[in-house]
Structure 1
Amino acid sequence: MLSYRHAFHAGNHADVLKHFALVQLLRHLNQKDKPWWYVDTHAGAGAYALDSTYAKKNAEFEGGISRLWQDADLPAPLADYVDQVRALNLNGRLRHYPGSPLIALKLARPDDRLRLFELHSTDHNLLQQNMREAGHRVAIRQADGFLEIKSVLPPPPRRGLTLIDPSYEDKQDYVRVIGALKEGISRFATGMFMVWYPQLQLGTAHQLPERLRKLADKWLDVRLTVQAPAPDGFGMHGSGLFIVNPPFTLADTLRQVMPVLVDKLGRDGAAGYALDMAG
């Protein structure tokens, strides 16, 4: 399916969780001088205008990044993520939101590399425009990122992070995520992988985290619930991240930050978080 456009959802509660964790993982990679590669299977447009028709249709960012924007008392790891968003809004007004590729580029050093895949033609063109000043550090292809994992892993420096972040509008994405992560781990067993997934009232969505856990020995699974499931069974009531080979410090960081995200982004009494790990 090629109808999905992340511009409708940019900056929502799921983006906050995903991009906060992304900053933490890349900061960890930056602790060593050796270069790393960042691989994004569903890169999107790279950046989004929150005053666009798409973003304003449901204004999902108002329940996400907007709730953190004016808070000067955030935990340092969460403030670091908000600072990445501020870097795209130099006038102090929240009008733009960076996607995962742009966040990765801002944290990349001269020898680090980005490999970005986006199948949607419009978003692929926007991604090229938004990353046009990146130079040789970034390679962008209009391709199916699920299939392209085998073309970039393992990366030459044997250090890196792969983000697997489909829309899940196509139910086959649940199956393909499993295949892509299995392929990635088989090629790059020591690499970090982060899979984003939605919390939905759908059997395949409920089963996905358990299926992911069977693929790796060392993993962390964190879930942010922002509201009770809708009575009609529709809509996303939260999201989660499954991370393979996480930094050993990440769990403690999440225990510090997740209660804040529940407080800031929660919409009713069902809001909460869960954290599980192995290895």
Structure 2
Amino acid sequence: MTELGLALTVEDISVGYPGRPVVERLTLAPLQPGSVTAIVGPNAVGKSTLLRGLAGLLPMTGSIRLGRTELAGADRTLRARHVGFMPQTLPTGARLSALEAAIAALSVNPMDAVGAARSAVRRRAMEVLERLGIGALALEPLVALSGGQRQLVGLAQAIVRNPSVLLLDEPTSALDLRHQVRVMQVVRSLAEEGVIVVTVLHDLALAARWADRLVVLCNGALVADGDPRAVLTPRLLAEVYGVAARVELCSAGRLQVIVDGLDAIGSA
């Protein structure tokens, strides 16, 4: 059973690999239910490592609490009850169909299956595939799907159990524009239902359009955290990304990042 309405608290966490720390002593303001937080920053600064640490997939120290429930070091069943995680890609050799993959994710927590009829499990899995626009691919094997289609199946696996916290690693990276919008609309609607969404995104315009909050990382450290309109500035883009850029509002009132050149550090 998920617990909507509880904030996620991240305090003093360090995540990395044996002999190679990546993110050290990171603390964030509480992540609120109903919000979308985008983790952004240059390549190889610790974004995916942080997300995998939050998901319990890498060794870490510190505290991750959902309300009063400590998730750091929690067993797989407890974590699966509260957290959904979408990796960047699904294994290409999986022999499951899209529907079977969603059903398998639904059965991760044995408690979810108690008293649940097979037809109800299948119906729930199909509902999620339809919500993502891939219901027609339900019986297709994963090996026959494109990278973008497999990515959508990965998202289906992450949300099928109705998690309180949804962690998404580059959910739009292999998608065309139409499917990017569809995925972000689903992400936004899940937040409106009370889910805490944390997603790694490379596209700053996409992050500014759909996220309530940006967490900017550089070299494993927190550089900025807040509303996109406050965080995305020419100075930050120069210091973090090394580009000369303008941040402007389009005719619809949305943030646009326009990059004019490189090596702007010190000029903003």
Aligning the two structures, in what range does the TM-score lie when normalised by the shorter sequence?
0.3 to 0.5
Which of structures 1 and 2 has the larger relative contact order (alpha carbons within 8 angstroms, sep 6+)? 2
Report which of the two has the higher share of strand: 2
- The normalised TM-score by structure 1 is 0.33
User: Based on CA coordinates, which of the two structures has the bigger radius of gyration?
Assistant: 2
Report which of the two has the higher share of helix: 1
- The normalised TM-score by structure 2 is 0.34
